[in-house]
Structures are given as C-alpha cells and as structure tokens.
Amino acid sequence: MMDDPLTVTPQSSSKLVGRAQGIYASAVQKELVLEYSNLDHNPPILALYKGKYKPYHVTLYSPPWPKPSKNSLSPVFTIFLFSFLVDGKSHRFSTSLSPEAFRIKKEKLSHLHFYFHDIVSGRSPTAVRVTEPATTNRSSFGFGAVFMMDDPLTVKPEPSSKLVGRAQGIYASAAQNELGLLMVLNFAFTEGKYNGSTLSVLGRNGVFLTVREMPIVGGSGLFRFASGYAQAKTHTIDLKTGDAVVEYNVYVLHG
C-alpha cells in the first residue's frame, strides 16, 4: 500500500504537489515488473493539491519498469498533462504541449488477435491465488478471491504456438451470484514491432458469457494514447482444473 508524496524536484524537502495513493504488486515470474492499482478506483491515483489542478486526480494505467527502456515508463513518471521539466535554472510543474509533437495528429486503428492461456493447476501455474476473505470458502463463485497472473499470449490455441506476449496483472472474483471477474491487466507484447509495447485493460469478465467485452484504457510504446476494447471468447476450459484458453480480439485506436 502506498501514499507517496509527489514533489517538483527530486529532494524530499521540495515543494509538495500531490500524492500517489494505491497498491503495487509483483506481477511477473522471471523479472521485476510492478502492477499498480488503487483500492477505491482500481488504477493508481495521483491526487494533486497545488495551483489550478487542485483538487484534480490523474489516473495511471501502465506500470513503471524498474529499469527504464525506450518503450517503458520510468519510476519518475512523465505525464503529458503534467510534465515535470528539469533544467539547470528552474523546475516547472506543468506546461502546455502540442499534440503534433507526439505524433497524435492522426490516430491508427489496429486489430490484434491472440490466445490467452490461464493455467492454475500443476507445478508451474501461470496464475496463482494470492488472497481471499474467510467468506470465500462458503461462496460457490469464490467471491473475494484475488489471483495474480503472468499468462502467455500465443498466435494459435496450442500452448506450443508462437509466443507474442504475456497478460500480466490481477483478476478477482467480484460477483456473489455468478462467476464475474474484475480484470486489471497489461498485455505486454514481445513480437515484432510491438516488442516492448503494452495495452492496459480494466473491465468486467463474465466468464460464462459467449463473448465478453472489456475496455482498453491506455497503452505504451506504439500504443501511446490508446483506447478501444477487447473481446474475449472461451476456446477451451477444464472445469476440473480451472485451466482455460481464451481467444482475444482487440481493437485499439492509438497515436
């Protein structure tokens, strides 16, 4: 759980402009990548206290990568609405920018198709239960149970098919009278020109519906300024083990 101060300059004694309030959790099995969320609002919230932005909140959907690269966010957040510009003479909290400077004059529409493998059984599961309330054991639908996932995304439904990325994040049982999941995750792509780019999903997954639709709320890399939706359709599910393969069609507008 975090309630971290946000300042204009790196020094802790610098002017306070807000706070980052929420939670972060380790969401990857083989490297250190953090998934950010907020208990009340799901994504993390930046609460701004100073100047014309008081009492605005800014929502962050993408995780910071501990070792920043060209296509990832640094733990020192760069927010286009609130740019923290540092030079030798002054520190500025905000500035106006031209959309053309970030190549968003004309948006592109992309369609992505892949298969999502959620493995909860065996010795090497890709999704694990991290917590549940005492009442969950009395619920037919596991209400309140929370899972962390690092699920492979492949071109075809077979597990041996070509890997194009991973679904990293959290899903939680959020319905008492049916199997309905809250999905908070990033599609982290590893294939071709999309390598290092991500799409962020925040929505409801009614597992036994034929087709489920969830919003794309943001992205990074080639998917900066992304918006759109993801459609999920169960390909196979083992009701004994809980393992499932889900077909995804993602339609996204991006810069």
Q: What is the pLDDT of residue 33?
A: 58
DSSP states of 36-47: EEBTTTBS-EEE
pLDDT tens digit string along 17-59? Answer: 887 765 677 767 776 655 555 444 444 444 454 555 554 444 4
Buried b (16+ CB within 10 A) or exposed e, 84-99: beeeeeeeebbeeeee
N-terminal to C-terminal alpha carbon distance within the chain: 33
Max mean pLDDT among 11-15, 77-81, 111-115 falls in 111-115
pLDDT at 190 over 60: yes
Percent with pLDDT over 90 in the chain: 51
Locate the domains of the chain by residue range.
2-97, 108-254
Q: What is the pLDDT of residue 45?
A: 45
**99: which 2 tokens?**
């959309």
Q: What is the pLDDT of residue 66?
A: 43
CATH 2.40.480.10 fits 108-254, yes or no: yes
d(CA 152, CA 47): 34
Its pTM stands at 0.68
pLDDT at 132 over 70: yes
pLDDT at 62 over 70: no
Whole-number average pLDDT of the chain: 80
